[in-house]
Each structure stands twice: as structure tokens, then as C-alpha cells.
């Protein structure tokens, strides 16, 4: 866990990443990562048009333009947890998210977490429960979820 929060973690505490914008480039990289990893030949591969990378296709599906893949906001939430609890958190947590509103190109996004409970086990292990979410600049939630962090005894 990040040393600055080690002694001060308490229920109700909130963490936030700086506001960032969902860019077309960021959305494109995520879409291309899937077929590129699958091919594993050192080249970048693209996939057929989707609502995540092709405006015409997204519009044909009833959207005003491309939307970010929900895993981008989930990854941003995991990044916040890593910032707060340290890089080992990925192997010591559960994270579940639900996408409740689309994230459009140039959408400003704030990534947030709030401690909802802390349980100290007899063996000294601490379990930290959090609500997690991404919201836009107007505080409308776009992605919501829960995280559970398992911290070994000190």
C-alpha cells in the first residue's frame, strides 16, 4: 500500500485521479490491442469496424459517434487502485464494474474510489472494500463497481 495512506485509511475516504479526456487515439489503441495480441507476430493488426473505432458504423448502430470500450474505464479504475495500494494490488484484489453510460471521444473522465469498509482479521490481514466509479465533468456516473483489496498482515 502507498505509504502516504498506510496509517490514514478510513471508511469514507475518497481517492481520485486527475481529470483526463477519452481520446480517439486511446480508444483506437485499445481496439487494436486485441487482434494484435492474438496474432502475436510483432505487427499491429486491426479488426473489422466496431462502435469503438468507426464513426460510420457507430452511427449506423444508433450512436452519435464512437464510444470507448468499457474495459478502458475499468483499467483506469485498476490504475487508481494501483496508485493508492501499490503495484501488488492486482494480485490481491477483486474488481467488478458495470458500464451504465457510454464514454464518447473527448469525454472528460474522473476516476474515483471510496472506502466503504475495513475488516481486520485475527491474523492481521486487512480487507478493504470500496465503491469505484468513473464520472464525467458534471459528476454523472459512467462506470460503477466495487473493489475488495486483501492486504497481508504487516
Residue-wise pLDDT for 43-86, tens only, equals: 877 778 889 889 999 999 999 999 999 999 999 999 999 999 99
pLDDT score recorded for residue 153 = 83
How far is the C-alpha of 120 from the C-alpha of 109, rounded, in Å? 33
> Which pLDDT belongs to residue 3?
45
Q: Are 43 and 54 in contact (CB under 8 A)?
A: no
Q: Hey, where are the domains in the chain?
A: 3-22+68-151
The sign one gets for the Cα dihedral 65, 69, 70, 73 is negative
Cell numbers for 108:
472528460
pLDDT value at position 10?
94
Torsion sign across C-alpha atoms 43, 66, 19, 117: negative
CA 98 to chain centre: 11
* Residue 12 region by backbone torsions, left for phi larger than 0, else alpha for psi between -120 and 50, else beta: left
Overall CATH class of domain 3-22+68-151: alpha beta
**The pLDDT of residue 81:** 97
pLDDT of residue 154: 75
pLDDT at 46: 74
d(CA 109, CA 64): 18
> Does this model's pTM top 0.75?
yes
Low-confidence ranges of the chain (pLDDT < 50): 1-7
What pLDDT does residue 14 have? 96
DSSP state of 86: -
Amino acid at each position: 500500500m502507498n505509504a502516504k495512506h498506510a496509517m490514514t485509511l478510513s471508511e469514507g475516504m475518497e481517492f481520485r485521479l486527475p481529470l483526463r479526456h477519452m481520446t480517439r487515439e486511446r480508444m483506437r489503441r485499445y481496439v487494436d490491442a486485441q487482434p494484435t495480441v492474438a496474432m502475436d507476430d510483432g505487427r499491429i493488426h486491426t479488426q473489422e469496424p466496431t462502435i469503438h473505432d468507426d464513426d460510420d458504423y457507430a452511427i449506423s448502430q444508433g450512436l452519435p459517434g464512437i464510444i470507448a470500450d468499457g474495459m478502458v474505464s475499468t483499467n483506469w479504475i485498476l490504475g487508481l487502485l494501483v496508485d493508492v495500494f501499490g503495484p501488488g494490488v492486482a494480485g490481491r484484489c477483486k474488481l467488478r464494474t458495470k458500464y451504465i453510460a457510454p464514454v464518447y471521444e473527448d469525454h472528460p473522465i474522473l476516476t474515483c474510489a471510496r472506502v466503504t469498509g475495513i475488516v481486520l482479521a485475527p491474523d492481521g490481514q486487512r480487507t478493504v472494500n470500496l465503491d469505484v466509479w468513473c464520472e464525467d465533468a458534471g459528476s454523472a456516473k459512467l462506470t460503477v463497481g466495487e473493489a475488495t483489496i486483501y492486504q497481508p498482515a504487516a
